[in-house]
């Protein structure tokens, strides 16, 4: 049932011009930034060769492209996810899913999987660009896998956040702005709150608050370091937001 609902969400996404605009825009922007960086890399390459252990194309071109992709996802995911529940509420179509013999958990997971599958398509396209270099140069596949994993987990956390905000309102645009606000708040919090807690020598609250700073958790993965705690934090954030969404939809039956 989760996949039936995910398929429905994917179909709805592809039926809307928004998804195509976002997909095209992301692809153009990322291709441009990738080629631009590649160009820069080729210019400085003669000098790099003289270094003892020079950074490779993966470090200098691929990883930064993924960082750009992460930044774009910050804007794109709220837009792609805004309709998930808000529009169903506005059009009163939620009753179609709620009357079917599926649990609220299945509905929420189905919607999440649908959006995540779309984001994986974007990430797949981003990953395909550096893979195309694989024929001509030595790629650091470990780093590539790590950064792709990081971006996927980040996308999952973003998707869960925009799904949750979408469940709070009946206006898709409000959902998009709200989700963007939430992501931005988490970004800022991760930068400041975590650091200041650590500075005061409070490691436990600092570690807890790290759950809510997805971009900070993305950083080690983007450098090729599979930091288990960062991975867990990203998963935990997504799971928490999904649980909140389920709670919200369940509660709606009580409120009416």
Partner 1 sequence: MSAEPGAATIEARGLTRKFGAHTAVKGIDLELKRGEVLGFLGPNGAGKTTTMQMLTGNLAPTGGAINICGIDLLEAPVAAKARIGYLPEHPPLYREFTVDEYLLLAAKLHRVPRARCREAVETSKRRCGLANSGAKLLGTLSRGFQQRVGIAQAIVHSPDVVILDEPTVGLDPHQIREIRSLIRELGGKHSVILSTHILPEVEAVCDRVQILHHGSLVYGDTIAALKRSRGGSAVLLGLQRAPSLDTLAAIPGIAQVHAVSPVLFRVDFHPHDDATERLAAQAAKNDWGLFQISPVHTSLEDVFVQLTRHEEVD
Residue 249 is a binding residue for partner 1 (CB under 8 A):
no
Binding mask 12-41 for partner 1 (x = CB under 8 A): x--xx-------------------------
Q: Closer CB to partner 1, residue 18 or residue 231?
A: 18
Q: Per CB under 8 A, which of residues 97..136 are in contact with partner 1?
A: 97-103
CB of 172 to partner 1, least distance (A): 14
Residue 137 is a binding residue for partner 1 (CB under 8 A):
no
CB of 26 to partner 1, least distance (A): 22
Helix or strand (DSSP H, E) at 198: helix 172-199
Residue 253 is a binding residue for partner 1 (CB under 8 A):
yes
- In terms of Cβ atoms closer than 10 Å to its own Cβ (0-12, 13-18, 19+), residue 99 is exposed
Closest CA to 184 of 64, 30, 77, 65: 77
CB of 249 to partner 1, least distance (A): 11
> What gap in Å lies between CA 19 and CA 232, rounded to an integer?
29
Q: Closer CB to partner 1, residue 16 or residue 196?
A: 16
Residue from 6, 94, 163, 234 touching partner 1 (CB under 8 A): that is: 94
Closest CA to 164 of 86, 96, 233, 102: 86
Q: Closer CB to partner 1, residue 91 or residue 137?
A: 91
Q: Closer CB to partner 1, residue 16 or residue 192?
A: 16
DSSP characters over 12-77: HHHHSHHHHHHHHHHHHHHHHHHHHHHHHHHHHHHHHHTSSS---HIIIIIHHHHHHHHHHHHHHH
Helices (H) and strands (E) in the chain — how many of each? Answer: 12, 0
Q: Which residues bind partner 1 (CB under 8 A)?
A: 1, 4-5, 8, 11-12, 15-16, 91-103, 253-254, 256
């Amino acid at each position: 049932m989760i996949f039936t609902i995910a398929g429905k969400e994917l179909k709805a996404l592809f039926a809307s011009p928004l998804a195509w605009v976002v997909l095209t825009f992301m692809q153009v922007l990322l291709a441009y930034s990738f080629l631009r960086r590649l160009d820069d890399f080729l210019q400085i390459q003669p000098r790099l060769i003289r270094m003892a252990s020079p950074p490779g194309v993966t470090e200098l071109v691929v990883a930064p492209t993924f960082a750009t992709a992460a930044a774009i996802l910050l804007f794109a995911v709220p837009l792609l996810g805004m309709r998930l529940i808000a529009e169903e509420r506005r059009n009163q179509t939620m009753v179609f899913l709620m009357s079917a013999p599926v649990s609220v958990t299945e509905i929420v997971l189905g919607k999440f999987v649908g959006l995540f599958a779309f984001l994986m398509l974007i990430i797949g396209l981003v990953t395909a660009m550096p893979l195309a270099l694989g024929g001509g140069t030595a790629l650091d596949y470990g780093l590539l896998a790590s950064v792709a994993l990081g971006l996927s987990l980040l996308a999952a956390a973003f998707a869960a956040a925009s799904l949750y905000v979408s469940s709070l309102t009946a206006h898709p645009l409000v959902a998009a702005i709200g989700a963007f606000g939430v992501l931005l708040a988490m970004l800022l919090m991760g930068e400041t709150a975590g650091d200041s807690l650590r500075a005061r020598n409070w490691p436990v609250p600092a570690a807890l608050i790290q759950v809510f700073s997805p971009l900070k958790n993305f950083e080690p993965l983007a450098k090729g370091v599979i930091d288990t705690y960062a991975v867990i934090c990203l998963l935990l954030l997504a799971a928490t937001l999904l649980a909140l969404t389920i709670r919200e939809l369940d509660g709606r039956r009580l409120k009416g």
